[in-house]
Amino acid sequence: MTPMTDRDNRIITDSDIEIAPVYTAQETPVQLPLPGEFPYTRGVYPTMYRGRPWTMRQYAGFTTAAESNRRYRLLLERGQTGLSVAFDLPTQLGLDSDDGRAYGEVGRVGVPISTLDDMRTLFDGIDQGAVTTSMTINAPASILLLMYQIVAEERGALAIKLGGTIQNDVLKEYAARGTYIYPPRPSMRLIVNTFAYCNQTLPEWNTISISGYHIREAGSSAAQEIGFTLSNAIAYVEAATAAGLDVDAIGPRLSFFFAGHSNFFEEAAKFRAARRMWAQIMRDRFGAKNPKSWLFRVHTQTGGVTLTAQQPLNNVVRVAYQALSAVLGGTQSLHTNGYDEALSLPTEEAATLALRTQQILAAETGVTATADPLAGSWFVEALTDELEAKANEWIAKIDELGGAVTAIETGYMQNAIAENAYRRELDRNAGREVVVGVNKYVDDKPADTPIQRIDQNAVNEQIARVSAYKAAQDHEQVAAALASVRTAAEGDDNLLPIMKNALLAGATLGQIADALRAVFGEHRATV
């Protein structure tokens, strides 16, 4: 689906950039620095993929820890180079599998992790010291990270060597996605606590993956994806430095997560613009002196919202082009969606084909041979400049409001995303934006696509395991540990060492999250 509309014989992207019929030398920018040189428009590393391809990190998780472990090991055997964990909604909301509020959602859209035993099973037979793991988890990110660390250390891995990423980006949850627990300001405290803890204990871990992906999936434009994501990143850096952390202590461990959508050249230009902007923000706005703090290191996932249930095999083509645009834009890691994801979680066959899409791209197309192959294109350079200008306008508006936290609390960011999504939907309904197989080239023949099914018996066994784990707890020890969590939440100590002690005492994810709920309360959207 092409986010471009014909308005009075003009082609305008959803970032409100008008595309000229032809570009000439008049639009050629000044000579750009080389890849690996500030401000990194052409890439964060000098040779980019010529030295090593991007990390192929397929997002997966469903039913139970054991089922998800089997999928991870399968993908690793088939050439995946990094793990990416999808958690179910109860886990994302800090609820144990046996919690009544989790009914009907356990294991549905990700893996349920309530106990240390669940985490042990999830990584059974996988060397956590040798593979990097990305965990898409936000409100309870710190608890899941501690679980991951404990299990890795039990198996002999050194915490100082563990590599991976937690998403840990709660601001975009309020703005676009909805899996938050606590109000924004205590949530920011947990994030800053995680920065400080990892700086001392897990120095190789990426402490946050600031996500434009979910902002884009909620309906933003490419320019808004850049502007809102970087505004959120500014808020995190401001909170960390206000707490006394050195910008160069946290800067090298910040990472980003962008969507790969279907407007091919605008998407490639989006990554180039964002890299340049972040380098300038970190050096000039925050005074970071370490060049590693200036790097916009980004994971990309192809656009889930662009997938269609109609003619699902068309999604194979969409995903391939979206992946190519992200690679030409210079992503550091990539997830390619399964063609069946508008219908269900991906089957083994669809997940394998999605991985093969990346492998073909890396091994057969020649795109890894040189850094920034699109550089110097009059069109791409003009798009990069225009996206930067549009995104900076959004950042300036948010700065005027008092920053990203205030912009979210007042509903400004949410409303801007919703307005863009509404306009896009009007364009689709009117046929100004073509979606092949949906509003043009329609085929009424039903798709015969295999569906990934969730085994309810396995889910029931998961719920029973969590209940049994709680029944076997040393209740006095757990109660004391949870009381310590509540006391720490009422003060200003770093919560992570205290939550780690609670996990080691046998507490569950939900019990620790509830201890924090008792102090912080729960967020309720009012806009």
Question: Which residues have CB under 8 Å from 171's CB, separation 6+?
Answer: 184, 232, 235, 236, 404, 405, 408
> Using 50, 70 and 90 to split pLDDT, how confident is the model at 2?
low
- Asked whether 307 and 449 are in contact (CB, 8 A), the reply is no
247-257 as b/e, with b when 16 or more CB fall inside 10 Å? bbbbbbbbbbb
91-140 pLDDT per residue, tens: 999 999 999 999 999 999 999 999 999 999 999 999 999 999 999 999 99
pTM over the 0.85 mark: yes
Average pLDDT estimate for 312-329: 98
182-234 pLDDT per residue, tens: 999 999 999 999 999 999 999 999 999 999 999 999 999 999 999 999 999 99
39-54 pLDDT per residue, tens: 999 999 999 999 899 9
What is each CA distance from 81 to 40, 53, 78, 134, in whole angstroms? 25, 10, 9, 12
> Using 50, 70 and 90 to split pLDDT, how confident is the model at 527?
low
Tell me 525's DSSP state: -
Place of tokens 């994501």: 229
Q: Which two tokens stand for residue 39?
A: 């401000």
pLDDT of 333 over the 80 cut: yes
Instruction: Count CB-CB contacts under 10 A for residue 490.
Output: 11
In whole angstroms, give the CA distance from residue 321 to residue 316.
Answer: 9
In whole angstroms, give the CA distance from residue 68 to residue 87.
Answer: 10
For the chain, how many helices (H) and strands (E)?
Answer: 19, 12
What is the residue extent of each domain of the chain?
Answer: 33-429
- Asked whether 140 and 146 are in contact (CB, 8 A), the reply is no
457-471 pLDDT per residue, tens: 999 999 999 999 999
Quick one: which of 345, 283, 296 has its CA closest to 36? 296
> Using 50, 70 and 90 to split pLDDT, how confident is the model at 401?
very high
- Asked whether 277 and 258 are in contact (CB, 8 A), the reply is no
Question: Which residues have CB under 8 Å from 8's CB, separation 6+?
Answer: none
In whole angstroms, give the CA distance from residue 271 to residue 242.
Answer: 29
Predicted pLDDT of residue 309 = 95
- Asked whether 35 and 47 are in contact (CB, 8 A), the reply is yes
User: Is domain 33-429 classified as CATH 3.40.50.720?
Assistant: no
Q: Please tell me the least confidently modeled range out of 24-33, 234-243, 272-281, 468-477.
A: 24-33
Crossing angle of helices 264-280 and 314-329, in 10° steps, is: 30
> Using 50, 70 and 90 to split pLDDT, how confident is the model at 445?
confident
